[in-house]
């Protein structure tokens, strides 16, 4: 939910377009949205580095606990891009994404942890790595977005050719989200299954904010183009509560790192 749940050709994620008009208190309860104090962050601002230990913990929190020991970890040097910090053995790689190319805006307050399997590393993770490097080199947000779309069009970037998934079960993320599709800090752990070219209509999905239970069923999130479409599966209420409980220290440390990463206390009620 970049869950990113981010931009399509009309500026909003496909599911967001369907949901945004029905924004309500139920949505806030589901997403645990924190105050949007990061909305004032200037576009084009320089990325603030994270402490390496905190960044690694946050990146690995995107994975279920039992999968973390074998994962590779990439850390971001805002001046250069990502570097390999830990070589794993499982074929899974994790990082904290800070640049969402599909937004068409460079911000310093976007943070979401995600991990890819082997199929995703060869495809989607390459895009994330390249966009970080191009931003570090000084490429503007609009130019960066055009470059990525061009590379998908000419085949430089491609979608995975087999089934796979991205793990995003971290206790929080900060990116575009409900209720107003601005930048928010949210607790929305989920899994993203690769579904290039698939729409909600294709699978009969009807995500509806008037019924938060509908978000517990699979739906499609189109992230910038059809190639980067994912089938989203939220974790259950009990599993979400367990993640938040298990990651209390991480949540506290992220809040201490930057105030806009704090989850609103009332948001833990559903």
The three-class DSSP label of residue 108 is: coil
Beta bridge partners of 233: 191
Tell me whether residue 76 is in a domain: yes
Q: If pLDDT is split at 50, 70 and 90, which confidence band does 210 have? A: low
Q: How far apart are CA 63 and CA 69, in angstroms?
A: 10
Taking alpha carbons only, the member of 157, 178, 161 closest to residue 221 is 178
Tell me whether residue 148 is in a domain: yes
Tell me whether residue 25 is in a domain: yes
Residue with tokens 């910090």: 85
Tell me whether residue 129 is in a domain: yes
Specify the number of domains making up the chain: 1
Return mean pLDDT, the chain. Answer: 84
pLDDT at 135 over 90: yes
pLDDT at 248 over 70: yes
Tell me whether residue 263 is in a domain: no
Lowest mean pLDDT among 31-35, 43-47, 95-99, 185-189: 31-35
Q: How far apart are CA 205 and CA 217, in angstroms?
A: 8
pTM: 0.84
pLDDT at 27 over 60: no
Structure tokens at 37: 């104090």
Q: How far apart are CA 262 and CA 242, in angstroms?
A: 18
* Over residues 231-244, mean pLDDT: 95
Taking alpha carbons only, the member of 189, 200, 191 closest to residue 226 is 200
**Which positions ≥6 away from 6 have C-beta within 8 Å?**
13, 100, 102, 103, 175, 176, 221, 223, 224
pLDDT at residue number 201? 93
pLDDT at 270 over 50: no
Backbone angles phi, psi at 225, to 5 degrees: -165, 170
* Over residues 135-142, mean pLDDT: 95
| Pairing, β 72-77 against β 173-177 | unpaired
Tell me whether residue 169 is in a domain: yes
Q: How far apart are CA 221 and CA 15, in angstroms?
A: 6
pLDDT at residue number 6? 40
Backbone angles phi, psi at 169, to 5 degrees: -100, 25
pLDDT at residue number 215? 78
Domain hosting residue 24, numbered range: 14-258
Tell me whether residue 3 is in a domain: no
pLDDT at 33 over 70: no
Tell me whether residue 138 is in a domain: yes
């Amino acid at each position: 939910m970049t869950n990113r749940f981010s931009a399509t050709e009309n500026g909003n994620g496909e599911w967001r377009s369907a949901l945004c008009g029905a924004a309500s208190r139920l949505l806030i309860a589901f997403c645990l949205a924190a105050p949007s104090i990061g909305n004032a962050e200037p576009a084009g601002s320089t990325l603030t580095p994270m402490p390496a230990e905190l960044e690694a913990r946050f990146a690995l929190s995107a994975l279920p606990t039992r999968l973390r020991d074998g994962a590779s970890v990439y850390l971001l040097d805002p001046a250069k891009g990502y570097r390999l910090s830990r070589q794993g053995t499982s074929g899974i790689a994790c990082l904290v994404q800070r640049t969402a190319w599909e937004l068409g805006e460079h911000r310093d307050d976007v943070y979401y942890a995600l991990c890819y399997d082997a199929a995703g590393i060869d495809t989607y993770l390459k895009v994330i790595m390249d966009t970080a490097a191009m931003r570090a080199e000084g490429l503007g947000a609009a130019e960066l977005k055009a470059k990525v779309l061009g590379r998908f069009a000419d085949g430089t970037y491609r979608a995975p050719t087999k089934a796979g998934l991205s793990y995003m079960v971290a206790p929080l993320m900060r990116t575009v989200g409900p209720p107003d599709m601005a930048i928010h800090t949210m607790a929305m752990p989920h899994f993203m299954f690769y579904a290039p070219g698939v729409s909600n209509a294709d699978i009969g999905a009807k995500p509806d904010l008037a019924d938060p239970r509908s978000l517990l069923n699979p739906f499609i999130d189109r992230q910038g183009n059809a190639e980067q479409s994912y089938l989203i599966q939220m974790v259950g209420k009990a599993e979400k509560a367990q993640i938040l409980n298990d990651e209390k220290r991480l949540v506290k440390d992220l809040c201490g790192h930057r105030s806009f990463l704090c989850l609103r206390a009332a948001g833990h009620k559903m």
